[in-house]
Copies of this chain bind each other. A is one copy, B any other.
Amino acid sequence: MKQLRLFSEIIVNHRLFQPFIIALIIVNSVIVGMESYRGLYEAYGDWFIRIDTIILTIFTIEILLKLLASRPMYHFFKDGWNVFDFLIVAASFIFMGSPFVTVLRILRVLRVFRTISMIPSLRKMVNALILTLPSLGTIMILLGIMFYVFSVMGTFLFRDVAPEYFGNIQLTMLTLFQIITLESWASNIMRPVLAELWWSWIYFIAFVLSGTFVVLNLFVGVIVNNFEKIEKMENMDEENPDELEDEVKLLRKEIRELKEIMREK
């Protein structure tokens, strides 16, 4: 067992291990892309399946090796990206042979995201992007409450007039999401309702104004977050103010020495 772990450690840390896996992910990406063309799939379908089996086998070995190489073993699962890799491969086995071909295909497509988990700079960037989300928590709860209130209200008010948009809460929520992206909010959604209920503009204008205002503040939150991160990094670089303080402290020390000289006299 110990020898196996040492062996896997050597392989995992080999300088060609990562490039090889990245190359494999790219091959997988190209294959899955080619599969989406009907003509190609009908002609070479068997080959696609064979190559996929080989790739899946190598990915399984890769994850097993990585699992063995990490000590203690459960440390492997501490990194979200490893968990992602593991789930993608494990799910491929679970659905193997199942009639849900689409699910298997989607899993194969999702493996393309493994590029991110393999290239450190992409990994870092996605981690950074995900880290900005919690700081937007409060404003997202606020947006959620707003969405819920407006969707229940919209359902009560317009379900008879525009059932395709406001038929039930789920539909209304989707419609509100569409409205907040400002897509056809007036031409397709408000104007037909307005033709029936003249006061309905209040609902729409209120939602567009408050919605875009809250979303704007959400965006500002993301921008502020980014600037703060950059400023922190910059402040670590520049040491000027501290230099100045050191200078002043040295000055004080010298004056103290001067005093000593005076007293001694």
Contact = CB atoms under 8 A, between A and B. Distances in A.
A4 interface: no
A122 to B, nearest CB: 6
A141 interface: yes
A7 interface: no
Interface of A is mostly: helix
Interface of A: 29, 32-33, 36-38, 102, 105-106, 109-110, 112-113, 115-116, 121-122, 125-126, 129, 138-139, 141-142, 145, 148-149, 152-153, 155-157, 159, 168-169, 174, 177-178, 181-188, 194, 201, 205, 208, 213-214, 216-217, 219-224, 226-228, 230, 240-241, 243-245, 247-252, 254-259, 261-263, 265
A137 B184 CA distance: 29
Contact of A141 (B29, B122, B181): B122
22 contacts: A29-B148, A33-B169, A36-B156, A36-B168, A36-B169, A105-B156, A109-B156, A110-B149, A112-B148, A122-B138, A122-B145, A125-B139, A129-B213, A184-B186, A216-B219, A240-B241, A247-B249, A250-B252, A257-B259, A258-B262, A261-B263, A262-B262
Nearest to A247: B248
B261 A261 contact: no
Contacts of A220: 222-223, 226
A86 to B, nearest CB: 19
A257 B201 CA distance: 76
